[in-house]
Amino acid sequence: MQKYIITLSIMVLSFLVGCAENKEKISTSDIEFNVNKNLLSEEISDSTLGIIFSIPKNVERLEGKNLEAFHSQINNEIDPASGVKYSLQYIFFNDSTRSLFSVINVTLLDSLIPKYDRQKVFNDFLISSIDTNKTKTATFTKDGIKIYQYLTQHNDIISFKLTFLTSNYDLLQFDYISRKENYPNEIKAIESSIGSIKLINKK
């Protein structure tokens, strides 16, 4: 599996690092997700990141050298002048469907950016980093969490990217990456995983 993971990392980097620009107006609405716990693995509670979430079933967590390889490649794709740094916290891989899920802690290097503006500044960075028109964007709230969503299809890959602030105004990015032929069977698990996201109040 390790050789495949290295190949996969090259294929999905563009989805982890950026998203395509969409000229449609971003809309805001409250969304309640249908969470089917039968489609999810056990709950993960990370007090350092300040989040609780569950991942789709039948995935393997990549650690050690595999995690380090993804982490290095993601940051190598970012222009040093962009003022953005990624810290890959979790990455999970389904060996059967070739799907991937990751959690990234995003740092904006400009310390003068107000904590309340971090999400918008990062959103502007994502939109300006890619010049295709294959992404649908939306903004919604879930249990008081303001989430920016980017849905991208490129060839046979479909990507959900979510960004939001924790209770301590740390910026997180969730990525769900699926092959087009598997997407119809995985969308309910992805929606359930998104619906499982909760913040730990660390204020």
What range defines the domain where residue 176 resides? Answer: 2-199
**Dihedral sign of CA atoms 3, 4, 9, 10 in order:** positive
Instruction: State pTM to two decimals.
Output: 0.82
User: For the chain, what is the domain count?
Assistant: 1
What is the rounded CA–CA span in Å between residue 178 and residue 160? 9
pLDDT-derived band at 201, boundaries 50, 70, 90: confident
State the CATH number of the domain containing residue 136: 3.40.1000.10
Q: What is the mean pLDDT of residues 33-59?
A: 93
| pLDDT for 34 | 86
- Which residues have CB under 8 Å from 123's CB, separation 6+? 148, 163
Averaged pLDDT of the chain: 81
